[in-house]
Amino acid sequence: MLQVAAKKQREAFTLDAQFELPTPGVVALFGRSGCGKTTLVNVIAGLLDPDSGRVALDEDVLLDTARGVDMPPERRRIGYVFQDSRLFPHLKVAANLCYGLKRARAPAFVDLDLVADLLDLGPLMSRRTHELSGGERQRVAVGRALLSQPKLLLLDEPLASLDASRREEVLPYLETLRDKLAIPMVYVSHNFDEVLRLATHLVLMESGKTVAQGNLGDMSLHPRMRAIIGADAVGAIVDGRVLGTSASSGLIRVQVGDGELNVHCDGVAPGTKLRVQLLARDLIVATQPPQHLSVRNSLKGVVTSIADDVDDSNLIAIDIGGTLIMARVTRDATRELGLAPGLPVWALVKTASLRPHPI
Amino acid sequence: MMWLSAGESEALVLSLSVASRSVLFSLPFAITLAWVLTRRQFIGRTVLDAFVHLPLVLPPVVVGYLLLVLFGARGPIGGWLERALGIELIFTRNGAALATAVMSFPLMVRAMRISLENVDRGLEDAARTLGARAFDRFASVTLPLMLPGVLAGAITAFSAALGEFGAVITFVSNIPGETRTLPLALYTALQTPGGDSQAARLAIISCVLGLGGLLLSEWFARRVRRVLGR
């Protein structure tokens, strides 16, 4: 369990944050630029002293202003991947990687071979840092942080300085780390796609304050998300289990709640988990079992709540067997169909609008 | 050195020896002071800064006089050094090295400070999160990155040390083979009837040394820039 609480007053800015992360897990600190995400991460790392606060990782207390505990950053065993990578320009890649390894305060559980293998760094070892591309720099920075044998990894917008294609070069490596190493991570981002692919938990920050937190599925339904990600990106994120491949269509069958979705996805074995984003704008609600439609996916559920949404529409929350999803329909439709909490409904979605991510 | 007289080559070798001692002696102090003045906030920082720069604005003869007062055989520091450590400064080449060190110190500190101000402190933070303690961070990150300034400072100070006249002659006098460095030898030659050609040769040596220092400094700077990819 990672526990973080911090208060800091500056002239025009107040940090007042508190969150918890079950370990191992990946918590996304999510919010607009300038909302205090980096400040909070610096407090966790020990690079910034808060007015008051507490940082504890499992049974280690790293900071507790009430009890006068303030471990210096060099002893906290927290790996930090900076937005601007901060590789040492006077050292080659290999020496950069080994910088933290040489100074590690614990037996090595991550060695150079493992990191070189996981992050594909072998060909870069003898390069100088200014000869690296942006994506390569960040991979080296991640490797360097990992080799310091950290108990926690902080990643401060590691992909923000990269363009979309470079970002796609680095993201799979981060997914591999999450899956292969049981190191808890705090991932700072204002890009929801990255969060969707990496995070298990999400802490929502607004102007220095942590306003909501929870696991990613619950947070995907949180009403305050819309203001940051935009109405079009609102939708449930559900983690399903792969049942197998449909013999007739070749699509992957994923169990979600009591229902089943058919998605396009390569290389996933039955039993593995698959994360699917069901955008509210893509869902269609029916009050009778649908017939004669091309739609491949129909999830039976019960309406649990109806909320007002943008442009004279409603957000309908539907329980599909312990899992909630959301559909955006016009208020007209809500009225005509007589949608109300407790009503059994079918949520329809085209396979083409589903974006699955292996997790 | 076939075309140099014994006295001339003696002055040249002595100058190089005094300048080397001067630079080696002041280097650690200059690095420390550059770091303190750039990175630390404390009461009296401005005064310390002004004090370091004082030799730039004082007449060299005043510096020589102050050294005589402090480091002379009966001075508070000089007397102690002689009694406790057996180090004699007055009328010796070590004394000449001290005088040139004090005079060239501000040049050295200046070059290092400019270089240190350009070192990204974010890199020191990164080293910190990777487990490096304060001195380790300085030695493994800060110092290598400010190396261009350290080298530039050392070479500038070395060249200035070769040419220091006023403070040296005031503090340690003009003794052949001990404190008669190139400028002092040149001055002596000018005072001697028929010493014109000797003075000219000494002046040429001084020019060559100065030029060599500047070229060396530039070569180092380029090399370092290439290594760091700037």
Identify the CA nearest to A142 among candidates A107, A106, A105, A180. A180
- Number of folded domains in chain A? 2
CB A111 within 8 A of CB A102: no
A194 and A249 fall within a common domain: no
Residue B229 burial (C-beta neighbours within 10 Å; 0-12, 13-18, 19+)? exposed
**Does the pLDDT value for residue B228 go beyond 80?**
no
Strands A26-30 and A185-189, by their bridges, are parallel
**Does the pLDDT value for residue B229 go beyond 70?**
no
Residue B8 lies in a domain: no
| pLDDT value, residue A180 | 87
A155 and A70 fall within a common domain: yes
A208 and A269 fall within a common domain: no
Residue B3 lies in a domain: no
User: In whole angstroms, what is the distance from residue A203 CA to residue B135 CA?
Assistant: 37
**Does the pLDDT value for residue B1 go beyond 60?**
no
The larger pLDDT score, comparing residue B213 to residue A27, is at A27
A210 and A248 fall within a common domain: no
For A89, which DSSP code? T
- Express each pLDDT in B44-53 by its tens digit: 999 999 999 9
A86 and A186 fall within a common domain: yes
A89 and A191 fall within a common domain: yes
In chain A, count H helices and then E strands: 10, 21
**Cα→Cα distances B229→A65, A187, B226, Å:** 43, 30, 5
A208 and A250 fall within a common domain: no
Average pLDDT over residues B195-201: 89
Average pLDDT over residues A159-164: 87
Type and span of the H or E element at A72: none
Q: Which of the listed ranges A75-89, A104-118, B4-18 does the model predict with the highest average pLDDT? A: A75-89
Residue A340 domain boundaries = 235-358
3-class SS of residue B118: coil
Contact B122 A88 (CB under 8 A): no
Contact A73 B145 (CB under 8 A): no
Average pLDDT over residues A260-271: 87
| pLDDT value, residue A167 | 87
A75 and A153 fall within a common domain: yes
Chain A residues with at least one Cβ partner in B under 8 Å = 45-47, 72-80, 82, 84, 86, 88-90, 99-100, 103-105, 128-131, 144-145, 148
Give the confidence band of A163 by pLDDT, cuts at 50, 70, 90: confident
- Express each pLDDT in A75-109 by its tens digit: 999 999 999 999 999 999 999 999 999 998 888 88
A197 and A239 fall within a common domain: no
Q: What's the CA dihedral at A226, A230, A232, A235 to 10 degrees?
A: -30
ipTM given for this complex:
0.85
Give the confidence band of B218 by pLDDT, cuts at 50, 70, 90: confident
- Number of folded domains in chain B? 1
| pLDDT value, residue A85 | 92
Task: Kindly report the CATH number assigned to the domain that includes residue A313.
Answer: 2.40.50.100
Last residue of a domain, one of A229, A257, A287: A229
Task: Kindly report the CATH number assigned to the domain that includes residue A14.
Answer: 3.40.50.300
Q: Is the full-model pTM beyond 0.90?
A: no
Q: How many CB atoms lie within 10 A of CB B27?
A: 17
- Express each pLDDT in B111-155 by its tens digit: 999 999 999 999 999 999 999 999 999 999 999 999 888 988 998
**Does the pLDDT value for residue A306 go beyond 60?**
yes
Query: Chain-wide mean pLDDT for chain B?
Result: 90
| pLDDT value, residue A272 | 87
From A80, which residue of chain B is nearest by alpha-carbon distance?
B129
| pLDDT value, residue A185 | 95
Sheet holding A324-330, edge to edge: A284-286, A344-349, A297-309, A313-319, A324-330
- Whether residue B143 lies within 8 A of chain A, CB to CB, comes out as no
User: In whole angstroms, what is the distance from residue B13 CA to residue B25 CA?
Assistant: 18
From A73, which residue of chain B is nearest by alpha-carbon distance?
B129
The residues near A111 (Cβ < 8 Å, ≥ 6 apart) are: A147
User: In whole angstroms, what is the distance from residue B211 CA to residue B159 CA?
Assistant: 9
A49 and A165 fall within a common domain: yes
**Does the pLDDT value for residue B58 go beyond 80?**
yes
A31 and A110 fall within a common domain: yes
Residue B165 lies in a domain: yes
Average pLDDT over residues B30-51: 92
Q: Which of A38, A42, A48, A74 to mutate to test the interface with B (most CBs of B within 10 A)?
A: A74
Beta bridge partners of A53: A6
Residue B184 domain boundaries = 13-228
Last residue of a domain, one of A181, A200, A229: A229
| pLDDT value, residue B2 | 54
Contact A88 B141 (CB under 8 A): yes
In whole angstroms, what separates CA A56 from the centre of its chain? 21
CB B122 within 8 A of CB B46: no
Residue B127 has which token pair? 């080293």
- Express each pLDDT in A36-67 by its tens digit: 999 999 999 999 999 999 999 998 999 999 99
Q: What's the CA dihedral at A88, A89, A90, A95 to 10 degrees?
A: 50
**Does the pLDDT value for residue B224 go beyond 80?**
no
Residue A23 has which token pair? 């370990």
A217 and A255 fall within a common domain: no
Last residue of a domain, one of A194, A229, A264: A229
Task: Kindly report the CATH number assigned to the domain that includes residue B123.
Answer: 1.10.3720.10
- Express each pLDDT in B162-197 by its tens digit: 989 999 999 999 998 899 999 999 999 999 998 888
Q: Which of B128, B129, B138, B146 to mutate to test the interface with A (most CBs of A within 10 A)?
A: B129
| pLDDT value, residue A3 | 94
Q: In B, which residues are within 8 Å of A105 by CB distance?
A: 131
- Express each pLDDT in A179-211 by its tens digit: 888 899 999 998 888 999 899 999 999 999 999
User: In whole angstroms, what is the distance from residue A353 CA to residue A159 CA?
Assistant: 25
Q: Which of B123, B228, B230 sits opposite A86 (nearest CB)?
A: B123
- Whether residue B228 lies within 8 A of chain A, CB to CB, comes out as yes
**Does the pLDDT value for residue B3 go beyond 80?**
no
